[in-house]
Amino acid sequence: MQMETKPQVKSLRSGKPASAVYIGNSFFYYNNGVNQQVTKLLAAAEPEALWRSTRITISGSGLDWHDIDSYFRPNAVGRYSFDPDNNVVFNKLEKLFDVAIVMDSSQGPIHPQVAPVFDDYIGRNAASLRSHGAEPVFFMTWAYADAPQMTQPLAEKYTQAGNAHNALVIPAGLAFANALAASSGLELHVDDKRHPNANGTYLAGCVTYASLFGKSPQGLSWHGELDQRTAKFLRTVAWETVRAYYDS
């Protein structure tokens, strides 16, 4: 797909992250979450890597539903966790999160009644995240299964926002479109035609992994619930999409 706006930020400015928070809606949490796919992919690539992530989601939410500052208040999010033996561990963190990946509601950036809210809050949230030491990353959402025409305007809006606020954009929406174009029998959505099925969440995880770490997921062993052939195809689409988007 030919983009009119080209991304200016092509990698994380803070280097390789060790932690991330995903702030958004149900697109992030379906099928045990995009964040879990990224964690598993990273573990397959670097078994000794230290990686910490969590997600903060509100069903149906837009950017303006989230109180970003509250997520960084002391002794709250990330204060403790449980080790493999189910012992509680009280964390001592120098920084709560290296990166914060944010998304708007599925139509938010392009719906005429709420697009101004997206334009306003994407900047507010980016500033708030930076004030807490987290690099903002914008997650480009995908088109509905029965509305592929959403892909281009969503891609443009997220790319424009990334350029305006010096933020990396994860081109998940473009990867969905590319995968569907390359495989006519592939399904990436559940029956509601909006939320991702296991294929869609896996693809979103692969695109996120490739975008954050600048590495191909193609040879990684993690395939989640998918058969090996489908997973391999989606890993390839993810990497090709990321390369094409950032090299444009």
Range of the domain at 67: 23-247
In a domain, 1, yes or no: no
CA pair distance 125, 192, nearest whole angstrom = 29
In a domain, 36, yes or no: yes
CA pair distance 99, 114, nearest whole angstrom = 26
In a domain, 15, yes or no: no
Q: What DSSP designation does 43 have?
A: H
In a domain, 4, yes or no: no
In a domain, 182, yes or no: yes
Domain count, the chain: 1
In a domain, 14, yes or no: no
Mean pLDDT by 10 residues, the chain (248 residues): 89 94 98 97 95 96 97 92 92 92 97 97 98 98 98 98 98 98 95 98 98 97 96 98 95
The predicted pLDDT at position 1 comes to: 67
3-state secondary structure of 19: strand
> Dihedral angle at the C-alpha atoms of 81, 87, 90, 94, nearest 10 degrees?
-60
In a domain, 11, yes or no: no
> Looking at the chain, how many residues does it have?
248
Give the domain CATH number at 217.
Answer: 3.40.50.1110
Break the chain down into helix, strand, coil percent, rounded to 5: 45, 15, 45
3-state secondary structure of 138: strand
The predicted pLDDT at position 153 comes to: 97
Query: Distances in Å between the alpha carbon of 166 and those of 8, 9, 122, 135?
Result: 8, 6, 11, 10
In a domain, 126, yes or no: yes
